[in-house]
Copies of this chain bind each other. A is one copy, B any other.
């Protein structure tokens, strides 16, 4: 898996603080766009988080280039509708290689790993045969497995990212999307430390919201395991 932050709104915490100040004070654009000290910005952002005033966080966006994730994971990812996606198309691209993600529950069992790899090899041959015989890539792709790697650019604003981390950094999320979400969080945290200070699963940012499907781990242990 490779996650790369390829673009983001510069000085994101300053933008959030400036937008929020406009709402609550009688000052105008020239005043809010004058430089605030870094400390003032940080305190302002912390306060917004605390009082639950989340809309100013929408003004800043983060774009990630992601590759080496399975289509299992991209299918879950694109279900988040307040976001933008550009995904490598299996319709327009004919693949030479079929790189796949193997879950550890399979790769760590030599016997299972062997039949898994053999089956993928057979798929590869079938896919190549179909293309050779003139089947269009958009039809040949029907044989490609969920495990196959995909590439995607995803953009979310900070408010949606916070929500995304709540759901996908959770131990209840599938391991692969969770690893991806953790890595995304790791990369945005140094850029906007006050925005993402409490980011993570609901048990970290607030309290567990998984109800009877909760993992049940003690909060202390979860706090230790979270993205620093």
Contact = CB atoms under 8 A, between A and B. Distances in A.
User: How many copies of this chain does the complex contain?
Assistant: 4
Interface in A72-131: 72, 75, 78-79, 81-82, 84-96, 100-103, 105-106, 109, 112, 115-116, 119, 122-123, 126, 129-130
A138 B175 CA distance: 10
Contacts of A95: 26
A86 to B, nearest CB: 4
Interface stretch (A28-36, A38-46, A185-193, A218-226): A28-36
Contacts of A20: 86
Interface in A134-188: 134-136, 138-139, 141-147, 151-153, 155, 157, 174
Contacts of A58: 84, 155
* Interface SS majority for chain A: mixed
Contacts of A217: none
Contact of A147 (B63, B101, B122, B143): B143
A228 interface: no
Contacts of A7: 9-11, 15, 59-60
Given A15-B63, A59-B63, A142-B70, A93 B33 contact: no
5 contacts: A18-B153, A23-B87, A23-B89, A55-B84, A155-B157
